[in-house]
């Protein structure tokens, strides 16, 4: 049976992209969001990789994101007093810095202009599969029916649990995330993202066109949800951050130069362990609901977008939904889990002890060569989806 209609649960990043890609594939999709409206104020700045932009070009949204993003043509790793320039690929677009809110707004508006229907205040509570389709039930007592249901409902996905009650939960990485903007009395290199290992924790920073410095921090801390983290005042968080980073250069200046109104507490950072079951007969997962790598990879949003588009291709080319889901999973699982493993290794260094912190500047240049970082980056960032070709599983697996 050819899939003609789809319900998409979640209107964040993967949801609107999946809807647009499905429309391009000839499938009518509706997006259901639990919030009262577009949730544009969730999250902070994120890194957006060139493969993510290439994927957005498939649905015609790439240029709109380029217009709001800030390219980082150089990346540097600071290890105490030692700075190590990181290799860059010559023939791909640079890493982009984009506010998550702006990214979601652009993707939402692009979908609306394409005629995608969004429904708000629709919190999923259950879903029932039958031989002809799936019925979604919402907290307000309403329901919706379609051929398939796509879970784009994030790291705490209910759809993941409906597919498999024993599915793993997201794992807390041990650090809380923060994003902010500061004004300081020094000039930092333009279009340069610096990844810095301080004495006690890890942070990043870059310059903005308006002269401010954007920065983000990973603070080792007991787990807090985003709601719990925001219940603590920004003034108190800046005090805690100063105690952790104040002796680092330039972290101390960044914290001192940050207005509390410009600090966003994101809450606990998570990663998804491998999910055994990506789909059932009529339900399937995309984005953070099934693969959420560490933010260290700079690939979370890009992978979510890739998966949404590859799922649409599979549903376009394969009539039986279960077979299409199987193919989608076989294409995507090796790539996303490989990148997640790399991110997990990086995460282990974010809370490293003082001995490792002293030896890392010596080991890092050697480790970079041993890891064949250029090869890793090439495989991740040059990934391009050939929308016009029919799904060929062997060809897809050759380039993960």
Confidence (pTM): 0.91
Is the pLDDT reported for residue 252 higher than 60?
Answer: yes
For 279, which DSSP code?
A: B
Report, as an integer, the average pLDDT of 292-312: 91
* Average pLDDT of every residue of the chain: 89
**Kind plus residue range of the DSSP H or E element containing 283:** strand 283-285
* 153 and 289 Cβ atoms separated by less than 8 Å: yes
Q: How far is CA 87 from CA 93, 195, 318, 346, in A?
A: 14, 13, 40, 16
Is the pLDDT reported for residue 396 higher than 80?
Answer: no
Domains of the chain: 5-69+98-170+272-350+378-397 (3.50.50.60), 171-271 (3.30.9.30)
Per-residue DSSP letters for 191-223? TEEEEEE-SS-EEEEEE-TTS-EEEEEEEE-S-
Q: What is the pLDDT of residue 198?
A: 87
φ/ψ of residue 150, rounded to 5: -115, 125
Is the pLDDT reported for residue 365 higher than 60?
Answer: no
Range picked from 33-47, 73-87, 186-200, 383-397 for highest mean pLDDT: 186-200
Q: Could you read off the pLDDT of 69-104 as tens digits, one per residue?
A: 999 999 998 887 788 888 888 888 999 999 999 999
Task: Write down the residue that tokens 């050939």 correspond to.
Answer: 386
Residue 140's nearest CA partner among 36, 40, 275, 288 is 36
The span from the CA of 399 to the CA of 338, in Å, is: 12
Q: What is the pLDDT of residue 355?
A: 41
Q: What is the pLDDT of residue 47?
A: 87
Is the pLDDT reported for residue 43 higher than 80?
Answer: no
The span from the CA of 286 to the CA of 18, in Å, is: 8
Between β-strands 28-32 and 45-48, what pairing exists: parallel, antiparallel or unpaired? Answer: unpaired
Instruction: Please tell me which residue, 33 or 374, carries the higher pLDDT value.
Output: 33
Q: From start to end of 59-123, where are the E strands?
A: 70-72, 74-79, 82-85, 95-99, 117-119
Q: Could you read off the pLDDT of 116-175 as tens digits, one per residue?
A: 999 999 999 999 999 999 999 999 999 999 999 999 999 999 999 999 999 999 999 999
The CB density around residue 247, as the number of other CB atoms within 10 Å, is 12
Q: What is the pLDDT of residue 215?
A: 96
Q: How far is CA 350 from CA 87, 173, 218, 225, in A?
A: 20, 10, 8, 20
Report, as an integer, the average pLDDT of 12-37: 96
For 372, which DSSP code?
A: T
* Residues in CB range of 3: below 8 A, 6 or more apart: 27, 147, 148, 315, 319, 321, 324
* 12 and 287 Cβ atoms separated by less than 8 Å: yes
Per cent of the chain over pLDDT 70 is 90
Task: Write down the residue that tokens 């308006």 correspond to.
Answer: 210
Report, as an integer, the average pLDDT of 202-211: 93
pLDDT band (50, 70, 90) for residue 366: very low
Q: What is the pLDDT of residue 370?
A: 40
């Amino acid at each position: 049976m050819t899939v003609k209609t789809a319900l998409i649960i979640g209107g964040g990043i993967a949801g609107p992209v999946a809807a647009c890609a499905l429309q391009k594939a000839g499938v009518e999709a509706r997006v259901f969001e639990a919030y009262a409206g577009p949730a544009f104020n969730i999250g902070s700045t994120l890194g957006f990789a060139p493969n993510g932009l290439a994927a957005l070009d498939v649905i015609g949204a790439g240029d709109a994101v380029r217009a709001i993003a800030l390219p980082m043509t150089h990346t540097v790793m600071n290890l105490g007093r030692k700075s190590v320039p990181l290799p860059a690929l010559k023939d791909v677009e640079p890493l982009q810095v984009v506010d998550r809110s702006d990214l979601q707004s652009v993707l939402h508006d692009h979908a609306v202009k394409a005629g995608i229907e969004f429904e708000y205040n629709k919190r999923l509570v259950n879903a029932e599969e039958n031989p002809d389709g799936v019925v979604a039930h919402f907290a307000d007592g309403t329901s919706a029916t379609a051929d398939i249901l796509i879970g784009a409902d994030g790291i705490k996905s209910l759809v993941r649990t409906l597919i498999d009650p024993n599915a793993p939960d997201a794992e807390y990485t041990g650090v809380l995330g923060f994003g902010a903007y500061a004004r300081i009395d020094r000039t930092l290199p333009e279009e340069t993202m610096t990844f810095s290992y301080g004495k006690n924790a890890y942070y990043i920073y870059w310059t903005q066109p308006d002269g401010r410095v954007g920065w983000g921090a990973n603070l080792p801390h007991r787990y807090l949800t985003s709601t719990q983290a925001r219940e603590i005042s920004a003034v108190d968080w800046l005090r805690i951050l100063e105690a952790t980073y104040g002796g680092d250069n330039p972290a101390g200046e960044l914290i001192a130069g940050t207005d509390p109104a410009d600090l966003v507490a994101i809450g606990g950072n998570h990663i998804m362990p491998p999910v055994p079951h990506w789909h059932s007969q009529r339900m399937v997962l995309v984005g953070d609901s099934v693969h959420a790598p560490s933010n260290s990879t700079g690939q979370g949003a890009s992978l979510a977008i890739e998966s949404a588009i590859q799922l649409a291709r599979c549903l376009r080319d394969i009539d039986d939904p279960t077979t299409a889901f199987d193919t989608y999973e076989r294409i995507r699982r090796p790539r996303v889990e490989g990148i997640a493993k790399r991110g997990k290794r990086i995460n282990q260094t974010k809370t490293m002890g003082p001995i490792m912190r002293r030896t890392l500047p010596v080991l890092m240049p050697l480790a970079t060569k041993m890891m064949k970082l250029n090869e890793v980056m090439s495989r991740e960032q040059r990934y391009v989806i050939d929308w016009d070709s029919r799904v060929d599983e062997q060809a897809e697996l050759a380039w993960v």
